[in-house]
Homo-oligomer: A and B are copies of this chain.
Amino acid sequence: MSITADIIRGHTETIILASLMEHDSYGYQINKDILRKTDNRYELKEATLYTAFRRLEQAGYITASWGDEKGGARRRYYSITQEGRKACEQGLLEWKEAKAVIDKLLELDQCGEKS
């Protein structure tokens, strides 16, 4: 897990929302999905994941409900709201903007990489 926290910081919420855009899910599963999607390069820390859920719920971007598992650990399922979809879209726009800015500032040929 070479990606440091600060590099990813601020994107966590958008990442979770994007995951919930595909289908309702629960914390553990979302994290495993992230791990799989990134070829084991990245996953959220549990504390980070669950505190993010609280924020997103508080903001009205997701709704939560306990699943009715028969046996096995209980799961808290999350569903994205209309507001959440908007926020996800917004987050994606911000990401694109930030990406462009940082790419420009790092110029991609700096730091010894000639052309």
Contact = CB atoms under 8 A, between A and B. Distances in A.
Interface of A: 2-11, 14-15, 17-19, 21-22, 34, 37-38, 41-42, 85, 88-89, 91-92, 94-95, 97-99, 101-102, 104-108, 110-113
Given A3-B101, A18-B111, 9 more contacts: A2-B97, A3-B97, A7-B11, A21-B111, A37-B105, A85-B112, A88-B110, A88-B111, A92-B111
A86 to B, nearest CB: 9
B106 A102 contact: no
A18 B95 contact: no
13 contacts: A7-B98, A8-B98, A15-B102, A17-B111, A18-B110, A21-B111, A34-B105, A38-B105, A41-B101, A42-B101, A42-B105, A89-B112, A92-B106
Given A22-B110, A88-B111, A10 B6 contact: yes
